[in-house]
Amino acid sequence: MFCCRSEEYKEQNRINKEIEKQLKRDKKDARREFKLLLLGTGESGKSTFIKQMRIIHGAGYSDEERRTFIKLVYQNIYMAMFTMIRAMESLRIAYENPANQAHAEAIREVDYESVTTMDPQHVVAIKSLWEDPGITECYDRRREYQLTDSAK
């Protein structure tokens, strides 16, 4: 009945064997994997925990991944300062240095979600704002508004 198998049948059989081998390898690899469900409220450190585990026990991060983190750090800086500037108004806290009002306006005009670099003028503005006692008071009252833990 099967004395003369066709080339097509032989090819299908070869592909089937390759698939079976791959399934066995995948099953073996899956037995060595740990799956972990992290639960927690926002800003509770779930992502930080995973990143630290990857640094300590894994291969770390590639240069490309590090470059994407730079962008995220810049965005977080702008977002945190933007949040504190808004909170200054709602908490009715004044800037001690009058020039910081203009710095605050410059930072408010930035679309922090699309930031990829830090403009040197904004670096000066953010440093000046951060050193202002009004911002310090606002930061100390961060429990009265939502500020990310990474703000400092």
The band of 91, judged by pLDDT with boundaries at 50, 70 and 90, is: very high
Q: Which residues are annotated as a binding site for GTP?
A: 43-48, 149-150
Which residues make up each annotated binding site? 43-48, 149-150
Report the chain's C-alpha Rg in angstroms: 27
3-state secondary structure the chain: CCCCCCHHHHHHHHHHHHHHHHHHHHHHHHHHCCCCCCCCCCCCCHHHHHHHHHHHHCCCCCHHHHHHHHHHHHHHHHHHHHHHHHHHHHCCCCCCCCHHHHHHHHHHCCCHHHCCCCCHHHHHHHHHHHHCHHHHHHHHCHHHCCCCHHHC
pLDDT in tens, 13-54: 999 999 999 999 999 888 888 787 888 887 788 888 888 888
Q: Which pLDDT score is estimated for 53?
A: 82
pLDDT given for residue 2 in this prediction: 56
pLDDT in tens, 108-150: 999 988 888 899 999 999 999 999 999 999 999 988 988 876 6
Does the domain formed by 63-147 have CATH 1.10.400.10? yes
Q: Domain locations in the chain? A: 7-57, 63-147
Annotated binding site for Mg(2+): 47
pTM over 0.85: no
